[in-house]
């Protein structure tokens, strides 16, 4: 019975650090406002996120696989139902806090929605604490910093705004953490993919899209050495080919992002590799994309532009 | 060329006082932040809104009939594309500020969206001024007060929250206006419908919905005497019957709201009057609904509940 009155707070499937941290940060806020809430997650913690929670000695959220009809939920760091929990269509969405475009989202009643085009959901949650006059404690500040460091790739991503930088400075003081030092450690922890099988590697941070009937996946991994990852190109391509067949994809675009230099290497397979090739000439199924790090701001717009 | 760089700000079609006032209030804010904007409207001003703008000697926004592809727009007091400007699908939506449920809305890029379940969009705009540290001048405060008085029916509507009341108090001080006195004058001005033909009366504030394939309209007018309006019942029913035939409606629900007492009288026609009759027994196509004033919170939920 208690579970029925509890509001579940979660980010997107294939959760990244911003999704996990933001669900905990939002849960801390709602709890301080006297609400019965629990942060949960819709998938496994990646190594970067594991590092962050271990570093600050914070318990990560519990895994759930779906939401029950009529249960109360708060969505953070995503709004598209296709990226959300199974059963989201029949849940009672009470709030949304996000920094993505709005699409494939609706509510039955008027609810609180706050979205801004900033680098991380953590940045918006900082403002929400202020709006509610709730103090940000040290652990909460550490999680917000982790959100910002992760989603902006330490301020290198084109999605990063002056707001993210300004708020990160304030959070550094509260948390007593140097974001450049801690953030680099965290990002590097996320790049240790040596023990991840290629089948899992291509799904670690994969998002599926459907534009004008063209079904494609853009996956992204972070590294400190593109060359190291490219040693596994053959096995990665095999895994991609299997995925394309299984899911009837028109394109699988695997992106290897060099977080130290802020560049990416693409590996593209499928019938519609022309959607990449028009912008970046593919050779041996690969292309180097200088200055490209953001799926949302750079890679997805490139593919959709080439569809038009 | 100048027009191309200008951002148009508008509320919903069949604009009410909150939609018109909020577009001007938002335009004042963006202009103070240095942006090139213009408040516009998607339909005729009703008498209530005319009264408000005349009372405060403010120029109402210009009428437009559609938006050009790629033009920059800010949506206030609505988000559903079906209630917005012709061409909204191909416009560049830069911001949304609203107090309705989110549905049939999407953006191409991440943008600023701020929605809250409060009584009027004016209430949310007050907060937005504060968030941007922009002072609210006397005329802007007068328009915000008009929004709140209109949409909450002077705090009588169930959509009214403590926030609306608290902010109205602050606005009364800035504007130097007694909301109860001014608001009643304004609401009464909106109820003088003696010179409006029945064909127009039923469309003055009509919203169309489509739920589970059932197409229906809920129209609403405000009055200080339900009996006065009922003297025109026969002609109103003729106009409703014509509209049902023309638009192939399953139900036309005409709502006459007594703003002094906070009650309504329904007139219902069409094949699916059972959707009203299940909750309020119809006699001579009419029913009295004690305490019912809100389309959003009471009337629409009643109809959709009876569909299920």
pLDDT in tens, B103-139: 989 998 999 999 999 999 999 999 999 999 999 999 9
Check residue B31 and give its pLDDT.
Answer: 97
- Nearest by CB to A113, which of B106, B108, B113? B113
Check residue B43 and give its pLDDT.
Answer: 95
Q: A121 CB contacts (<8 Å, ≥6 apart)? A: A11, A18, A19, A22, A76, A77, A97, A98, A99, A147, A151
Name the segment(s) of chain A with CATH classification 3.90.1640.10. Answer: 7-189
Check residue B297 and give its pLDDT.
Answer: 86
Task: Compute the distance between CA of residue B28 and CA of residue B144 in angstroms, rounded to an integer.
Answer: 12
A91 Rama sector, left if φ>0, alpha if ψ -120 to 50, beta otherwise: beta
Chain B contact for A114, CB < 8 A? yes
Name the segment(s) of chain B with CATH classification 3.10.310.20. Answer: 198-305
Q: How large a percentage of chain B has pLDDT more than 90?
A: 89
Using the predicted structure, report yes or no on whether residue B62 has a pLDDT greater than 80: yes
What average pLDDT does this structure show over A167-189? 96
List of chain B residues whose C-beta atoms are within 8 Å of the C-beta of residue A114: 113-115
Q: Does A101 contact B106 at a Cβ distance shorter than 8 Å? A: yes
Chain A contact for B105, CB < 8 A? yes
Question: CATH number for the A7-189 domain, one of 3.40.50.300, 3.30.70.260, 3.90.1640.10, 3.30.300.210?
Answer: 3.90.1640.10
Q: Does A103 contact B102 at a Cβ distance shorter than 8 Å? A: no
Residue of B nearest to A108 (CA): B101
Residue A308 pLDDT grade (very low, low, confident, very high; cuts 50, 70, 90): confident
Fold classification of B198-305 is Diaminopimelate Epimerase; Chain A, domain 1 (3.10.310)
Using the predicted structure, report yes or no on whether residue A1 has a pLDDT greater than 80: no
Q: B296 CB contacts (<8 Å, ≥6 apart)? A: A110, B100, B159
Q: How large a percentage of chain B has pLDDT more than 70?
A: 99
Q: pLDDT (tens digit, 9 = 90+) per residue, B188-226?
A: 999 888 889 999 999 988 988 888 899 999 999 999 899
Using the predicted structure, report yes or no on whether residue A198 has a pLDDT greater than 70: yes
Query: What is the number of CB-based contacts under 8 A between chain A and chain B?
Result: 71
In degrees, rounded to 5, the angle at the alpha carbon of residue A239 between the alpha carbons of residues A233 and A241 is 100
The distance of B284 to chain A (nearest Cα, Å) reads 32
List of chain A residues whose C-beta atoms are within 8 Å of the C-beta of residue B100: 110
Chain A contact for B248, CB < 8 A? no
The distance of B104 to chain A (nearest Cα, Å) reads 7
């Amino acid at each position: 019975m208690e579970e029925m009155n509890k509001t579940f707070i979660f980010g997107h499937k294939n959760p990244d650090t911003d999704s996990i941290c933001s669900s905990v940060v939002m849960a801390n806020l709602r709890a301080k406002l006297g609400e019965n809430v629990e942060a949960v997650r819709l998938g496994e913690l990646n190594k970067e996120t594991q590092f962050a929670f271990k570093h600050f000695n914070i318990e990560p959220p519990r895994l759930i696989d779906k939401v029950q009809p009529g249960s109360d939920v708060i969505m953070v760091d995503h709004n598209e139902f296709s990226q959300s929990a199974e059963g989201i269509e029949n849940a009672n969405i009470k709030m949304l806090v996000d920094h993505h475009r709005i699409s494939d989202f609706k509510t039955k009643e008027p609810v609180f929605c706050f979205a801004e085009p900033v680098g991380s959901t953590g940045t918006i949650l900082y403002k929400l604490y202020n709006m509610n006059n709730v103090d940000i404690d040290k652990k909460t500040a550490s999680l917000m910093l982790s959100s910002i460091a992760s989603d902006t790739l330490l301020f290198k991503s084109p999605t990063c705004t002056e707001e993210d930088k300004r708020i990160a400075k304030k959070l550094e003081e509260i948390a007593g953490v140097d974001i450049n030092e801690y953030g680099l450690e965290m990002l590097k922890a996320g790049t240790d993919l040596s023990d991840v099988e290629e089948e899992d590697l291509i799904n670690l941070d994969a998002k599926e899209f459907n534009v004008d009937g063209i079904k494609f996946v853009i996956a992204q991994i972070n590294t400190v050495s593109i060359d190291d990852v490219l040693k596994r190109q053959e096995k990665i391509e095999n895994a991609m080919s299997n995925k394309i067949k299984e899911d009837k994809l028109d394109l699988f675009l695997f992106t290897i992002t060099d977080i130290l230099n802020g560049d990416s290497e693409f590996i593209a397979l499928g019938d519609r590799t022309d959607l990449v090739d028009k912008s970046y000439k593919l050779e041996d199924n690969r292309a180097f994309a200088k200055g490209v790090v953001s799926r949302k701001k750079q890679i997805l717009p490139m593919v959709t532009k080439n569809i038009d």
